[in-house]
Amino acid sequence: MLYYRILQKAIDSREYPDDSAHRSAWGTAGSVTGIAVNLLLAAVKFVVGMLTGSVAATADAVNNISDAGGSIMSLLSVRLSGRRETSKNPFGFGRMEYLGELGVGLLILLMGFELLKSGIQSILHPQEMLFSWLSLGLMGVSILAKVWLYRAYTCIGKPIHNNTLLAAARDSLNDCLATSAVIISMLISHFFQWNIDGYIGVLVSLLVLKAGFDVLSDTVTRLLGGKPDKELGDKIIACVKSYPYVSDIHDFVMHDYGPGRCMASIHVEVPADGNLVAMHEVIDQMEREVFDTLHVPLCVHMDPVAEPDEQASTVHSVLREYLSAHNPPLLMHDFRTVPGENQINLIFDVVLPPSYPNAEQLASELVAIARGLDQRYHCVIHFDKDYYYHV
């Protein structure tokens, strides 16, 4: 879109010290755009409400004011999140964007409850609406403006992963539906003399409340440590697996300190008889590439894996196949054997989803399978939590 291209040319023509400053500039542009457009739309709808006496139109105007307030919070959070690291906050202030998004959600909920109250009062005490084609046209223009704002938020928010702007984009679509409902209410009142304005006002409030709950749910999940960014994680894993010596990976964890501020750790399995110095150089190169290309500090732990003998290889394959056929499929790693005269210890880790219901039963099943192959087998199982694949 033309506006986005103009912004892109203006922002890209300036020099920024790092990606966070560039991201802050885009976030500021998107937030300021939202403030200006929403205040203009609120003014238009207030005029329509005064001319027609429509509670639904006034409710929609109040909704636009709440949207403008949300854009102001977005602007503040974007500016604060761009602050440099300090001794007290070595991981930066990236999560300020999540707090800003939380504030937007609370503001939307507050406005939604107020609109619901006004709609119920209008149902109990209805007032006659005054129809005006000019008012109807202004409401139609406001829908087009919200569609444009949705596209602007999306074009700006997606590349920089600004969740506050993307939440505002979803709310803009809800506003289009709400304003369309107001237009329908005005037309029905004019042509059929049915005053459904209060009911439409309640419908608008429910849409606003849903948008608020959605924003709060997403934000609280991220603040509590929700699902990792799978697209970024897959890129990290692909990069790690592309290096020599790496036979497999496990225990991959991503730590989110705000948009654009992520750290990760991973265990890589390497040959136990490999050249330690050469493998260490590969690990160093791997960490540098991930940081240079994906801007993610990566900590890599090497796990030396010895080639199992024929007997150990058989039990390893049987247990691994059983776990892969499980629902959900499970992984195992760090398998090794400690032989003895009367007992052979099978030591390995099994990776479980965070919500796995019964690890003890699974352990019993694995022990039974191993004993079925050789009564001397004794399983020493450590259960790991999967923080990536099953979340």
Tell me what pLDDT residue 3 has: 67
The SS3 call for residue 294 is helix
Structure confidence by residue, pLDDT tens digits, 171-224? 787 778 777 777 887 788 778 877 777 787 787 788 778 878 888 888 888 787
Q: Could you give the domains of the chain? A: 2-224 (1.20.1510.10), 227-306 (3.30.70.1350), 308-391 (3.30.70.1350)
pLDDT score of 237: 93
Closest CA to 257 of 21, 20, 63: 20
| Residues sharing a CB contact under 8 Å with residue 202, sequence separation 6 or more, in sequence order | 116, 119, 120, 123
Q: Which one is predicted more confidently, 390 or 341?
A: 341
Mean pLDDT, rounded, for 71-98:
78
State whether residue 330 is helix, strand or coil.
Answer: coil
Mean pLDDT, the chain, whole residue set: 82
Residue 50, classified by CB atoms within 10 Å of its CB into exposed (0-12), middle (13-18) or buried (19+), is middle
| 331-338: strand order across its sheet | 331-338, 344-352, 377-385
> What's the whole-number mean pLDDT along residues 120-127?
78
Burial 250-271 (b: 16+ CB within 10 A, else e): bbbbbebbbbbbbebebbbbbe
Name 310's Cβ contacts closer than 8 Å, sequence gap at least 6: none
Strand order in the sheet with 248-256: 248-256, 262-271, 298-305
With a cut of 80, say whether residue 108 has pLDDT above it: no
Compare 48 and 331 and report the one with higher pLDDT: 331
- Show the tokens assigned to 381: 């199982």
pLDDT, residue 49, reads 76
Lowest mean pLDDT among 65-79, 291-305, 354-368: 65-79
- How many Cβ atoms are within 10 Å of 121's Cβ, its own excluded? 13
- Taking residues 292-298, report their average pLDDT: 90
Segment 299-351, tens digit of pLDDT = 999 988 877 777 788 898 999 999 999 888 898 888 888 887 789 999 899 99
Give the amino acid at 304. Answer: P
> Whole-angstrom Cα distance, residue 116 to residue 207?
10
Residue 216 has a pLDDT of 85
Q: What pLDDT, in 10s, does the model give residues 2-46? A: 666 767 766 666 666 566 677 778 888 888 888 998 898 888 878
Question: Which is more confidently placed, 327 or 287?
Answer: 287
- What is the tens place of the pLDDT at every residue in 241-276? 999 999 889 889 998 887 777 899 999 999 888 899
Query: Backbone phi, then psi, for 368, in 5-degree steps?
Result: -65, -40
Considering the entire predicted model, what is its pTM?
Answer: 0.67
What is the 3-class SS of 160-179, one letter each residue?
HCCHHHHHHHHHHHHHHHHH
CA dist 290 and 297 (Å) reads: 7
The pLDDT of residue 107: 76
